[in-house]
Amino acid sequence: MANTITKRELVNKICAETRSNLTQNDVLEVIQKTVDLIIESLGKGDRVVLRNFGTFSVKEVKAKIGRNPKDPGKDVPIPARSVVKFKVGKTLKEAAAKVEAE
């Protein structure tokens, strides 16, 4: 089973694997600001491209009619909405392809 890596664990790994004078709080601040700027950019409808990692963008999903799983005879209107789309970059795609299926 795959492990879950938290933001705190990312901070610890970055501090341990880099040779800089950055403290854990400095690294946490950089990671949090990165996440905040990605969210802010997507909120404006911009695309965020992290080369070899992937591209975040906002996509409009049209309104449609769905089905109620508890009562399949009933139509349920699903309103139009915006969703975040992520297109995987080449390096990430190659790394994921090496993971054995579980």
Q: Using an 8 Å Cβ cutoff, are 53 and 96 in contact?
A: no
Tell me which residue range forms the domain holding 24: 1-44
Number of compact structural domains in the chain: 2
Predicted TM-score (pTM) of the model is 0.78
Chain centroid, CA 100 distance in Å: 22
Give the CATH number of the domain where residue 65 resides.
Answer: 4.10.520.10
The model's pLDDT over 29-53, given as tens digits with 9 standing for 90+, comes to: 999 999 999 999 999 999 999 999 9
The model's pLDDT over 12-30, given as tens digits with 9 standing for 90+, comes to: 999 988 877 888 999 999 9
Helix axes 24-43, 7-17, angle to 10 degrees: 130
In whole angstroms, what is the distance from residue 100 CA to residue 84 CA?
A: 27
Q: Reduced to 3 states, what is the DSSP secondary structure of residue 51?
A: coil
Do both 59 and 77 map to the same domain? Answer: yes
